């Protein structure tokens, strides 16, 4: 199982990550599609080849083709949106906020899966990419749809752990060279 491979690859000093990886994925109460879409989107967002190689096959096996594509779409569109909206937010000139974005993001309107899953995946990717404006926007949509705070937090816990595992494994790979 990919989870076991990742956990065994982590160094002893990252024992907390081993435990957290097992709990946020292995013991998650999220429905399978929600869980594995979050895992796949976050693995892509982590930019860690090792994490993506290990988790993608299991995500593919646990997702219907349209959910697999939608999770990848969430990672792709949020990679763009997180940079754009984070930058616009960080600029001290508020006039940028009134300008039309002019970027295509049609997949958000029609992701091919349940809207709340796509929003949760987008929120998780936004957590990895650190876009506060996107986090607020997706969290508000989820809460209005009736998603509880515990579910929202579960998504960004998955994001945090996958990102940390990727960072640690990539650092160890560089140090081993």
Catalytic residue (choose from 40, 77, 134, 142):
134
What is the DSSP code string of 96-126?
GGGS------HHHH--SS-HHHHHHHHHHHH
Residue 42 known to be catalytic: no
Residue 93 phi, psi (nearest 5): -85, 110
pLDDT of residue 1: 60
**Residues 60 and 2 sit within 8 Å (Cβ to Cβ):** no
- pLDDT of residue 8 exceeding 80, the answer is yes
pLDDT of residue 2: 80
Catalytic residue (choose from 131, 141, 147, 152):
131
pLDDT per residue as tens digits for the range 61-103:
999 999 999 999 999 999 999 999 999 999 999 999 999 999 9
**Residues 67 and 113 sit within 8 Å (Cβ to Cβ):** yes
- pLDDT of residue 177 exceeding 70, the answer is yes
Residue 134 known to be catalytic: yes
Collapsing DSSP states into helix, strand and coil, what is residue 31? coil
What is the DSSP code string of 48-93?
-HHHHHHHHHHHHHHS-HHHHHHHHHHHHHHHHHHHHHHHHHHSS-
């Amino acid at each position: 199982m990919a989870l076991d491979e990742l956990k065994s690859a982590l160094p002893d000093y990252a024992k907390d990550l081993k435990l957290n990886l097992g709990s946020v994925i292995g013991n998650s109460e999220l429905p399978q599609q929600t869980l594995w879409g979050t895992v796949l989107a976050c693995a892509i967002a982590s930019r860690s080849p090792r994490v993506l190689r290990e988790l993608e096959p299991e995500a593919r096996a646990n997702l219907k083709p349209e959910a697999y594509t939608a999770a990848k779409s969430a990672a792709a569109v949020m990679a763009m949106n997180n940079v754009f909206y984070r930058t616009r937010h960080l600029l001290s000139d508020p006039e940028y906020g009134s300008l039309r974005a002019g970027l295509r993001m049609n997949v958000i309107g029609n992701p091919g899966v349940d809207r709340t899953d796509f929003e949760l995946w987008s929120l998780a990717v936004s957590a990895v990419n650190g876009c506060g404006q996107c986090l607020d926007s997706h969290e508000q949509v989820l809460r209005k749809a009736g998603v509880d705070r515990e579910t929202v937090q579960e998504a960004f816990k998955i994001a945090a752990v996958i990102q940390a595992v990727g960072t640690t494994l990539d650092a160890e790979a560089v140090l081993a060279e």
